[in-house]
Structure 1
Amino acid sequence: MRDGGSHGDQEGGSGSFHQRKRRRVGRGGDGVLSNALAGYLSWQQTAEERFLALEEDRMRQEARAEERREQQEERRAKQEREHEFRLMSMLTKVLSSSRGTEEQSASTSRETLGVPSTSQTLFPYMLSSSAKAVPSMPLGDQMAQYSPYLSRRGNSMRLHQGILQEGFNQYHANKHDENSNPHGIINLGTSENKLCFDLLQKRVRCDLLVYLREEVAKFLSHYCRSPKPLKPKNVVVMNGCGSLFSALAATLCDPEDAILIPSPFYGVITEDVGLYSSVKLHHVPLYSQVPTGSDVRPFQLTVEKLENSLKEAKKEGLNIKALILLNPHNPLGEVYSSEEMISFLEFAKMHKLHVIVDEIYMLSVFNETDTFHSVLSLDGLPDPQRTHIMWGVSKDFAMAGMRVGMVYSENRDLVQALDQLGCFHGVPGPTQYQMAQLLRDRDWLNSEFLPENRRRLREAHSFMTEELKKQDIPFLHRSAGFFIWADLSKYLREKTFAEELSLWRCFLKHKVLLSCGQAFSCVSPGWFRIIFTDQLHKLKLGLSIAHFHFNKTLKTSSVQTKLDTVHIKTEPVSLSLDSLIGTLRQQIHTSDWLEKYKPELAAGQDPTQLDVFTDLLDKARK
């Protein structure tokens, strides 16, 4: 019995030993998984805490930006008040000096004894006349006023007057003439040869002495269908619309101010307003997809989008001074209706923004069903003092390189400020003569050039759109300008701007130049501007090269890109261990995140956790 009992005890002891061993092994496995789970949850908590910290930091930055914006506005108001006070002080001194000079000259005349000499009679008269002329000059009255429409820089430009300018302005207002104005100013200060004017007069016919501003005013009145004749004094002519953009930015904005502009837009405008005017552009993004809501077409501009972008700009601490509108649009080819333009102008009036309307393609609308409505055709602008219309000859007259641009504005302060910059952006005399002759030849323009130009634009546009349809390339079907806005995103390996730039360089490498969307600040990668206004044989050759590389680079299979980060959804802690391990296993299978961020995971924690995760990674991938 003892032997049997002993044997049973041995068997029982052996069984309990194996059971204890299995329990120890089980507890050891559970411990590894528990440690892994604890590390995983600890990492998740750390990530959430960091995200909250970043959010708090972002909110603090926004609050600081808003505070800076308010401080800037306070400083601006204070500086404007100080400037007005200085101007009033200057005006008071000028008036006091004028009265003192007049009294002194009169006293000198009365006290002179004997027969007066020529100098004794002439110079007191000149001093008295000039003293009387200073306060009565229109420019002097304008210089004593600080324009609320211009920036501080613009007011400084408008009010600037050197000694030579002061003398010439008075001479220009009071020229000497033997018959009509014998007591006027005799100009012996301007370096100008008038000795041979009689000889030149024989060679220059009087009908050629036209004034470019007058011809521009007549031209715009006719082709913009203005309800009343436009005034030549409101016209400013410079050497191209790029110069006008720069000058307008300089006079309407101070350095670091900003201008709203819908994107995509003609990319050179960024340099036009930024290079020497130091003015920023704040984009109003327009999207290719038509969302639900008020949008009915791709890349549609609405007042709601303008409002949202203006709010974002203010949150960033930007001081928005103006809005730029392109109509017809470059690169979209969009032609805005008069109702749309009025709504945009009403928005600008509400926020006291200047509106710069670029209408350089106004005569290049080639579809008879689409009618272009110039802002100048509107009977009553919402805010005429802040509305400025630009046009140039290079596009509508097919004269690329002929740098002649013009702006029409009823704001006299702005016109005066722009005139101050005219010496830097002037148009040469021969060019002015050519342009005046061209603008006044409306019979030829209406009967021959413009109809034929529109016909050729229609034919070239039709050819290009048919070729794009053959390649199944989406595009905006618009009827203005020299270009088509086409979607080449299907030829990108992935929809990124880096791939767009790579495709653009591929075309350029094979001797075909297009314009990629990011050059126009488009928010959707893959859009290109394609010009169709060239000789037919060049269009065919360029398209044949492009088609070859389109087909060569077309994706044959979908390419899956690796994720740079893992987006882990926050789950309740009460989930089972199996579900958490399954989630972790899925993340490991679909991402190289763990291997990529090993140092960050182990930093500041128990190094053994990294070994546990590495073991789990190896097991999960077997």
Structure 2
Amino acid sequence: MAWQNLSVRAQENCRGGGSNVMIQGMARVSSDKFDLQTNPKGIINLGVAENQLMSKELAAILRPVNAVDPKLFGYSEGPSGSKLLRKHFADNIFNQYFEPHEPVYEDHIVFTAGCSATVDNFTFCVCDPGDGILITTPFYGGFNTDIMAKSKARVIVAHLEDGVSPFGVDQVELMQQAVDQATAEGTRVRAFVLSNPHNPLGRNYPREVLIEFLKFASRNKLHILFDEIYALSVFDYALSGEAKQEQPDQTPFISVLSIPNIEDYCEKELVHVAYGMSKDFCLNGFRCGCLVSPWNKDILEAMNSIAVFTWMSSPIEAMIIKLVENPATIDWFVKTNQRRLAESYTLTVDILRAHRIPFLPAQGGHYIWIDLRQYIPSALVNMAAAGEREAEYMLWKAMLDKGVYLNLGVAFSEKKVGFFRLSFSVPPWLLRIGLERMLRACERTFTLSASL
């Protein structure tokens, strides 16, 4: 075997390299990408959470930075981010928008080359190979790679049963069962990771649930990492009409940093936040993420000790400093982006309603969780109900063939077959074309199968 000269962990990664359907989908999109002029029949990407709504504005803000300035040819100040970058993030982002009960300072922040690198480095610092990190379903599929590929920790999945809300306190009992079972099987569970706002469900956790999560982490002596990368992409306040009325609640985004007297619920040194520039600031390709840990000097030291492997480039750091140095620019950018997200969301739900496609109303993020089970071929309904995913893959492939990419429920460890995450953060004209292609693919799949 060609892999025999590789390490065991590398062999494991090679064997599992084709199993990530998110990566498979992105590869298909990249090989046949939509372009209105040169490839109008190419694939429109409504699967990746990549915000294209502020591209022109970003270009105008960043254009003055000379990326080939010889001053940027050398190493930057340090692998964890310069003091100026960390200070701007502390003062102009975290202290301004996350409403921390205690101020965040630059020394509380360690930068990496993207939020995936942050989760990877965090896992390396709190887990030995074989240790577990708990996540509840459905969850962002990239966590599997972030946690397992390099650090060789394990994802411990707590599947939420029917009737157990991802935003209610009942799930804590299932979380405890998952930890107890993993422990009984010999796995030491070291941390709990969650996204707030939720990915893929696009909703905020209520305060009482966040507090129960903190208590749970304390009881089990787990680090708890709050991925708050969509914190400034909450848009429900800007909705109107039916899109506003159908919201099941008005729960605001609450950063864990804002909870007073956090020590009443959990040891403060166990509490951490991951953040990055990919989502709220539409810079997926810049690869800028960070860990905020105000109360744990040890983990900051540990993260700093390996930061050299995830060092941002000097030109990228210079451009990000330009973006975040002016509070007025940030405020304008955030509010404009939120309004545009609300407009794209409204367009999406109007079309979904018109075709009677169920969905979970979203408050934030770049996506909406939709239910396409009505398009499952009748011959596959019973198999889908039993958890067989053939129908879900059939719909996914039909959409790709029609020129649009959505992310499947299986990519988020969703047990029910037929759910998809639809990203709407693209220009409205492109969104309309993508949704039309999605509908044609679904209807054609159902019609053809019914005639067989």
Instruction: State the 1:430 CA deviation.
Output: 2.7
Residues 192-231 of structure 1: matches in 2 within 5 Å? 211-218=84-91, 219-231=93-105
Are 1:434 and 2:319 matched, yes or no?
yes
SS of the residue 1:325 aligns to: strand
Q: 2:236 aligns with which of 367, 373, 389?
A: 367
Deviations 1:371-423 (CA, angstroms, capped at 9, x unpaired): 11101111122221111101101100112211110111121111111111111
Residues 43-82 of structure 1: matches in 2 within 5 Å? none
Instruction: State the 1:210 CA deviation.
Output: 6.2
State the one-letter code of the partner of 1:269: F
State the one-letter code of the partner of 2:307: G
Residues 126-275 of structure 1: matches in 2 within 5 Å? 211-218=84-91, 219-275=93-149
State the one-letter code of the partner of 2:324: L
Q: Higher Cα Rg: structure 1 or 2?
A: 1
Q: Distance in 1 between matches of 2:89 and 2:277?
A: 11
State the one-letter code of the partner of 1:307: Q
Q: 2:397 aligns with which of 502, 505, 518?
A: 505
The residue aligned with 2:304 is 419
The residue aligned with 2:221 is 352
When residues 343 and 429 of structure 1 are mapped into structure 2, their CA distance, relative to the original with a 3 A threshold, is: same
State the one-letter code of the partner of 2:326: D
Checking the alignment, whether the CA contact within 8 Å between 2:169 and 2:212 is kept in structure 1 is no
Q: 1:548 aligns with which of 440, 443, 447?
A: 440
State the one-letter code of the partner of 1:213: R
Deviations 1:530-555 (CA, angstroms, capped at 9, x unpaired): 11111122111112222222222236
Are 1:401 and 2:291 matched, yes or no?
no
Instruction: State the 1:557 CA deviation.
Output: 9.6
The alignment's TM-score, normalised by the length of structure 2, stands at: 0.73
When residues 389 and 210 of structure 1 are mapped into structure 2, their CA distance, relative to the original with a 3 A threshold, is: closer
Task: Give runs of ≥4 in structure 1 deviating > 4 Å.
Answer: 295-301, 555-559
Are 1:471 and 2:355 matched, yes or no?
yes
SS of the residue 2:94 aligns to: helix
Residues 524-539 of structure 1: matches in 2 within 5 Å? 524-539=416-431
Q: Distance in 2 between matches of 1:377 and 1:551?
A: 46
The alignment of Structure 1 onto Structure 2 pairs a total of residues equal to 347
Checking the alignment, whether the CA contact within 8 Å between 1:286 and 1:300 is kept in structure 2 is no
Q: Distance in 2 between matches of 1:467 and 1:503?
A: 19
Checking the alignment, whether the CA contact within 8 Å between 1:210 and 1:436 is kept in structure 2 is no
The residue aligned with 1:181 is none
When residues 442 and 351 of structure 1 are mapped into structure 2, their CA distance, relative to the original with a 3 A threshold, is: same
Checking the alignment, whether the CA contact within 8 Å between 2:206 and 2:251 is kept in structure 1 is no
SS of the residue 1:308 aligns to: helix
Q: 1:392 aligns with which of 259, 276, 288?
A: 276
Q: Distance in 1 between matches of 2:195 and 2:201?
A: 10
Instruction: State the 1:303 CA deviation.
Output: 1.3
Q: Distance in 1 between matches of 2:189 and 2:260?
A: 27
Which piece of structure 1 moves more, 491-500 or 316-325? 491-500
Which one has a larger percent helix, Structure 1 or Structure 2? Answer: 1
Instruction: State the 1:511 CA deviation.
Output: 1.4
SS of the residue 1:390 aligns to: strand
Q: Distance in 2 between matches of 1:370 and 1:398?
A: 24
Which segments of 5 or more consecutive residues in structure 1 lack a partner in the other structure? Answer: 1-198, 201-208, 560-622
Checking the alignment, whether the CA contact within 8 Å between 1:362 and 1:372 is kept in structure 2 is yes
Are 1:522 and 2:396 matched, yes or no?
no
Instruction: State the 1:431 CA deviation.
Output: 2.1
Checking the alignment, whether the CA contact within 8 Å between 1:267 and 1:520 is kept in structure 2 is yes
State the one-letter code of the partner of 2:285: G
Which segments of 5 or more consecutive residues in structure 2 lack a partner in the other structure? Answer: 1-69, 72-81, 238-249
When residues 337 and 502 of structure 1 are mapped into structure 2, their CA distance, relative to the original with a 3 A threshold, is: same
Instruction: State the 1:297 CA deviation.
Output: 7.3
When residues 234 and 336 of structure 1 are mapped into structure 2, their CA distance, relative to the original with a 3 A threshold, is: same
Q: 2:267 aligns with which of 368, 376, 383?
A: 383
Q: 2:376 aligns with which of 492, 500, 503?
A: 492
Deviations 1:239-278 (CA, angstroms, capped at 9, x unpaired): 1011111111111000011100011111111111111110
Are 1:459 and 2:343 matched, yes or no?
yes
When residues 420 and 554 of structure 1 are mapped into structure 2, their CA distance, relative to the original with a 3 A threshold, is: same
Q: Distance in 2 between matches of 1:299 and 1:526?
A: 23
The residue aligned with 2:195 is 326
State the one-letter code of the partner of 1:463: L
Q: 2:211 aligns with which of 337, 342, 351?
A: 342
SS of the residue 2:221 aligns to: coil
SS of the residue 1:276 aligns to: coil
When residues 301 and 474 of structure 1 are mapped into structure 2, their CA distance, relative to the original with a 3 A threshold, is: farther
SS of the residue 1:322 aligns to: strand
SS of the residue 2:285 aligns to: coil
The residue aligned with 1:450 is 334
SS of the residue 1:236 aligns to: strand
State the one-letter code of the partner of 1:480: G
Q: Distance in 1 between matches of 2:375 and 2:290?
A: 41
Deviations 1:288-342 (CA, angstroms, capped at 9, x unpaired): x4x2xxx467898721121122122223322111000110011111200122111
When residues 300 and 466 of structure 1 are mapped into structure 2, their CA distance, relative to the original with a 3 A threshold, is: farther
Instruction: State the 1:233 CA deviation.
Output: 1.4
Q: Distance in 1 between matches of 2:439 and 2:214?
A: 43
When residues 555 and 301 of structure 1 are mapped into structure 2, their CA distance, relative to the original with a 3 A threshold, is: farther
State the one-letter code of the partner of 1:479: Q
Q: Distance in 2 between matches of 1:238 and 1:377?
A: 24
State the one-letter code of the partner of 1:527: F
Which piece of structure 1 moves more, 533-542 or 240-249? 533-542
Q: CA RMSD in A?
A: 2.2
When residues 296 and 500 of structure 1 are mapped into structure 2, their CA distance, relative to the original with a 3 A threshold, is: closer
Percent identity, aligned pairs only, is 32
Q: Distance in 1 between matches of 2:169 and 2:357?
A: 20
Q: Distance in 2 between matches of 1:391 and 1:538?
A: 28
Checking the alignment, whether the CA contact within 8 Å between 2:165 and 2:171 is kept in structure 1 is no
Q: Distance in 1 between matches of 2:338 and 2:283?
A: 15
Q: Distance in 1 between matches of 2:321 and 2:449?
A: 60
State the one-letter code of the partner of 2:133: I
Q: Distance in 1 between matches of 2:178 and 2:450?
A: 36
Q: Distance in 2 between matches of 1:334 and 1:427?
A: 31
Q: Distance in 2 between matches of 1:529 and 1:374?
A: 24
When residues 299 and 538 of structure 1 are mapped into structure 2, their CA distance, relative to the original with a 3 A threshold, is: farther
